Amino acid sequence: MSIRLNETLHTMGEIKTEIINAAKQIGDLVDSLILRHAPAKPLEPTMYIDLEGVNLCREGTLSIFTLLIDTGTPTPSVYLIDVFSLGMQTFETTGAKGQTLKDVLQNENIPKVFFDVRNDADVLFAHFGVALQGVQDVQLMESASRATARSRKHLNSLARCVEQYSPDRRGLASWKLAKENGTKLFNPKSGGSFTVFEKRPIPSEIISYCVGDVQYLPQLWKRFEVAANMQRDLVNNETRERVLASQRPGYKPNGPSRTLAPWNEDQNRTLDRCHGPGPRAHFDDDEAWDFDDDKVWDFDYEEDFVFSTYDDWVDDSPTNCRDIIPEWDLDLYYSD
């Protein structure tokens, strides 16, 4: 199957898309992943991942595992693995080499790129015993790329990053349209339901929506990958902490604190040094912050920033709709 999507930062044109809903397909996919990563650890990742489900976390379900394979060719491949139909076979089916998708995901020498890995790591560990390793989180990479502590205080959503860093306005418009069409199917306020992720065959709007969640990740990764060891080490350490935190009993998949970047004062000073001389705003400089303690930042895909009170707060920072508590105001939320 091949679907026509928008042009991306480097004119991806047609994206080859395949639905994986049989054990043999899983085995073949695992074999290709093992073969691709048989040599030394690649300089750049080739696996870009996003998950979808109903309340995607330990308290919900995983329905679709979206995997983009980017080997530098003009036409990348996207696989939508039907976890809803395959269940544990998704992660336990062995290929010719005796390896499974679980083995690949737990191999620290095979890099995997996510945008906000937290709830993805949570659902994989809680329901399938998959302890992710080798993760790179573009949301944290983008946050660390900002020049000052003040600018780094809040995290950006995927939609915000794509809007901000994509020079292709025509492609961006069609990307938004695909996202909006998919959102209408699961947004209860638009007459949709989150259970649409469990509908089979997968609706074409949901296929395009899922592909949209990964199609920009290779370009964003390249944009924010840095050579500075201090900055890269900070991001890698915080990414590992995100994964480990998602596996702990007290993990909270929702909440206002999820919009805040993880950097403490010392980490911010290190990031400041990585970005060189310039204006600084540290956590110990109270006058440097102009934020009202009773408010948080919301990011809207059509606005730069929107202030709202905690009563109206919408969690737009996590990657997908699964992080939304149903009674919150979904009209203000643009899912990634």
| Per-residue confidence (pLDDT) for residue 293, from 0 to 100 | 34
Cis peptide before 201 (omega within 30 of 0): yes
Q: What is the pLDDT of residues 100-159, one digit of tens each?
A: 999 999 999 999 999 999 999 999 999 999 999 999 999 999 999 999 999 999 999 999
Is the pTM higher than 0.95? The answer reads no
| Per-residue confidence (pLDDT) for residue 41, from 0 to 100 | 67
Instruction: List, in sequence order, every residue forming a beta bridge with 292; answer none if it has no partner.
Output: none
Q: Pairing state of beta strands 14-20 and 2-4?
A: antiparallel
Q: Please provide the DSSP assignment of 205-261 as one string.
A: HHHHHHHHHHTTHHHHHHHH----HHHHHHHHHHHHHHHHHHTSTT--SSSGGGGB-
Q: How far apart are the first and last CA of the chain?
A: 24
Contact of 82 with 21, CB cutoff 8 Å: yes
- The span from the CA of 125 to the CA of 147, in Å, is 34
Asked if residue 284 has pLDDT above 60, the reply is no
Structure tokens, 34? 């093992």
Q: Pairing state of beta strands 135-137 and 64-69?
A: unpaired
Asked if residue 49 has pLDDT above 70, the reply is yes
Mean pLDDT lowest among 48-57, 124-133, 317-326: 317-326
Mean pLDDT of 218-232: 89
Mean pLDDT of 93-103: 97
Please give the mean pLDDT across all residues of the chain.
82
Q: What is the pLDDT of residues 57-68, one digit of tens each?
A: 999 999 999 999
Look at 31 and 301; give whichever has higher pLDDT: 31
Q: Pairing state of beta strands 77-82 and 135-137?
A: unpaired
- Residue 77's φ and ψ, nearest 5 degrees, are -115, 135
Mean pLDDT of 158-163: 95
Look at 187 and 313; give whichever has higher pLDDT: 187
Mean pLDDT of 294-299: 35
| Per-residue confidence (pLDDT) for residue 287, from 0 to 100 | 33
| Per-residue confidence (pLDDT) for residue 306, from 0 to 100 | 32
Helix (H) or strand (E) holding 306: strand 306-309
Structure tokens, 85? 């139909």
8 SS3 class: coil
Look at 321 and 227; give whichever has higher pLDDT: 227
| Per-residue confidence (pLDDT) for residue 327, from 0 to 100 | 36
Residue in 120, 157, 154 with CA at minimum distance from that of residue 138: 157
Mean pLDDT lowest among 32-46, 54-68, 86-100: 32-46
154 SS3 class: strand
Q: Supply the DSSP symbol for 164.
A: H
Q: Quote the percentage of the chain above a pLDDT of 70.
A: 77
